[in-house]
Structure 1
Amino acid sequence: MIGYVTLGTANLAKSSAFYDVLLGTIGAGRFMEEPDYFIAWAKAPGEASIAVSVPFNKEPASVGNGTMVAVALDTPEQVDSFYAKALELGGTCEGKPGFRPEDASSGFYAGYFRDLDGNKLNAFCIVADS
Structure 2
Amino acid sequence: MIGYVTLGTNHFEQAAAFYDTLLAEIGARRIMEGEQFIAWGVSPAKPSLGIIKPFNGQPACVGNGSMVALVVDSADKIKALHAKALALGGSDEGGPGPRGTSGFYAAYFRDLDGNKLNAFCMQS
Residue 115 (str. 1) matches residue 111 (str. 2):
yes
For the pair shown, the structure with the greater C-alpha radius of gyration is: 1
Q: Which runs of 5+ in 2 are unaligned?
A: none
Q: Which runs of 4+ in 1 moved over 3 A?
A: none
Residue 43 of structure 1, CA deviation: 0.3
Q: Give the structure-2-normalised TM-score.
A: 0.98
Q: Once the 2 structures are TM-superposed, how far is the Cα of residue 19 of structure 1 from its aligned partner?
A: 0.1
Q: Which amino acid aligns with 2:3?
A: G
The DSSP-based 3-state class of the residue aligned with 1:46 is coil
Query: Any unmatched runs of 5+ in structure 1?
Result: none
Q: Please give the root-mean-square deviation of Cα atoms over the aligned residues, in Å.
A: 0.6
Q: Say how many residue pairs are matched.
A: 124
Between the aligned partners of 2:66 and 2:11, the Cα distance in structure 1 is: 20
For residue 124 of structure 1, report the CA deviation from its aligned partner: 0.4
Provide the C-alpha distance between the structure 1 equivalents of 2:44 and 2:110, rounded to a whole number of angstroms: 26
**TM-score scaled to structure 1, two decimals?**
0.94
Q: Report the counterpart of residue 43 of structure 1 in structure 2.
A: 42
Q: Is 1:64 aligned with 2:60?
A: no
Sequence identity of aligned pairs in percent? 57
